[in-house]
Structure 1
Amino acid sequence: MESPHLMNTLSNVIHKLQKKGLGNDFKWNHKGFTLDGKKYYQPHELSIIKIYRFEEFTNPDDLCVLYLIETNDHMYGYILDTYGVYMNHTGDFNNALRLIPERQHDDQLLFEL
């Protein structure tokens, strides 16, 4: 297991997810969350496995959160949520994201990159 200070960048975490086959990026539109643009998932069909938070040291107003997601049909990927000057999501996205159930803290601790 890597020490936390080596896993502190967004690019490092995405790279680790890709190596484990979990690097699929969920996209959002009015139909829901999708990995391929064909099948759409509603929040109740998803589960947040783990949450990673990243803060830009040069500008604390720039924050992003990566949510590692599992679908009800066992597909895996992540949702990247940005804040600050890079925010590009609508209120609908934020509302849908809040509806995704989060695994218990103990379950999150079992998942390692």
Structure 2
Amino acid sequence: MSIHAYRTVAEAVRALEQRGFTANFELIGKTFRAVESGKTFAPGDLTIVEHHRFEGASDPEELAVVYAIQAKDGTRGTLVDAYGVYANPDLSAFLKDVSIQEDRAA
């Protein structure tokens, strides 16, 4: 997880976009696709650079994780998934095969 502390999912996504994570990723079958460019990526092409978990205190639908992801070709973007029982099981299975970058001191 990153040292950044965001209060909302929208705030995290905006901040990541300002830091160059501009692609929007989606899971299509067993590949990730950058929506705008149409490029597709296998798990081995991707690294989770950081993630931010949001735990809604009163509303379980506020449980979410924002992922900052970088592809080997330099494509950088975000992906938001529900957390806990609302998580997408196909996405969770895909992300298990994606490497995670170790935290670096800022």
| Shift in Å, 1:84 | 5.2
Q: Which structure has the highest strand share of the two? A: 2
The equivalent of 2:100 in structure 1 is 102
Higher helix share: 1
| Residue 16, structure 1, aligned to residue 25, structure 2 | no
Contact 1:33–1:41 under 8 Å retained in 2: yes
Cα distance, 1:20 vs. partner? 2.9
- Equivalent pairs: percent with the same residue? 25
Residue 98 to residue 19, structure 1, CA distance change in 2 (3 Å) = same
State the distance in 1 between where 2:92 and 2:84 align. Answer: 14
TM-score, length-normalised on structure 2?
0.80
Q: TM-score, normalised by structure 1?
A: 0.75
Q: Which amino acid aligns with 1:20?
A: R
Identify unmatched segments of 5+ residues in structure 1. Answer: none
Answer with 1 or 2: which has the greater Rg: 1
CA distance in 1, matches of 2:84, 2:49: 25
Secondary structure of 2:66's partner? strand
Offset at residue 60 of structure 1 (A) = 4.8
